[in-house]
Structure 1
Amino acid sequence: MNKVEAIGALAALGQETRLDVFRLLVQAGPAGLPAGDIAAKLGVVQNTASAHLKVLSQSSLIRAEREGRTIRYTADMAGFRDLLAYLMEDCCNGNPDLCRPVIEAVTCNC
């Protein structure tokens, strides 16, 4: 991940509804949730939810998969791991291997 991508991901998470969406999808795990269920669970109208889902997708924090007329969203744990790795790249006095267990502990192989 580069600086521009990290800024985009952080900006995406810097909005309350998008942060709620991301956390909801992390909680849902690999099964994810259909867009309509996300909107209903968060109490937002579908077109507003759709706009937030688009921003999160563009930031590589969630993935979308079409199932007929439904779009199912899942948290993109690889994108999240990349963001964490970028943020912690120079941690521990320039010894990022010391931080790798932290990154692996907070992400899953979903």
Structure 2
Amino acid sequence: MDKSSAVEALHALAQETRLEVFRLLVRCGNDGMVAGEIASTLGVRQNTMSSNLAVLARAGLVRNERNGREIRYFAEFDGMRALLAYLMEDCCGGNPEVCAPVLDEIACAC
């Protein structure tokens, strides 16, 4: 990930509703969620949700699949990994023990 892409991803997540959407989709995993369900779950109008999902998609943090009239959204885990890798690229400065607590915190316990 380059600096411009990282800035776009961070900008997308720097808004409360979009951050909530992204975290919700991460929890949904491979099942994803239909746009209307996302809006209902978060108590957001559908047209507002559509705009927020578009911002997240442009930033490479969500993807969608159309099935008839439904559009199902998924967290884009490759995008999330790329952002985390970019942020931690120079983390330890040759001392891996510095990054260990951060890596332990973000490691999936599934």
Give 1:60's aligned residue: 60
Aligned to 2:72: 72
* CA gap 1:79/1:93 in 2 versus in 1, 3 angstroms: same
What is the DSSP-based 3-state SS (H/G/I as helix, E as strand, rest coil) of the residue aligned with 1:64? strand
Query: What code does the residue aligned with 1:87 have?
Result: L
Aligned to 2:103: 102
Aligned length: 107
Structure with larger Rg: 2
Q: Distance in 1 between matches of 2:106 and 2:84?
A: 9
Alpha-carbon contact 1:39-1:45 (below 8 Å) kept? yes
Q: Residues of 2 paired with 1:18 and 1:9: CA distance?
A: 11
> How many Å separate the matches in 1 of 2:71 and 2:36?
9
State the superposition RMSD in angstroms.
Answer: 2.2
Normalising by structure 1, we get a TM-score of: 0.87
Matches within 5 A, 1:1-110: 1-94=1-94, 99=99, 102=103, 106=106
One-letter code aligned to 2:47: N
Q: Which amino acid aligns with 2:52?
A: H
Are the aligned partners of 1:81 and 1:107 in contact in 2 as well (CA < 8 Å)? no
Gaps of 5+ in 1: none
**Deviation for aligned residue 1:107:** 6.3
Identity of aligned residues (%): 58
TM-score, reference length from structure 2:
0.87
> Within 1, Cα distance between the matches of 2:95 and 2:5?
23
Runs of 5+ unmatched residues, structure 2: none
SS in 2 for 1:92: coil
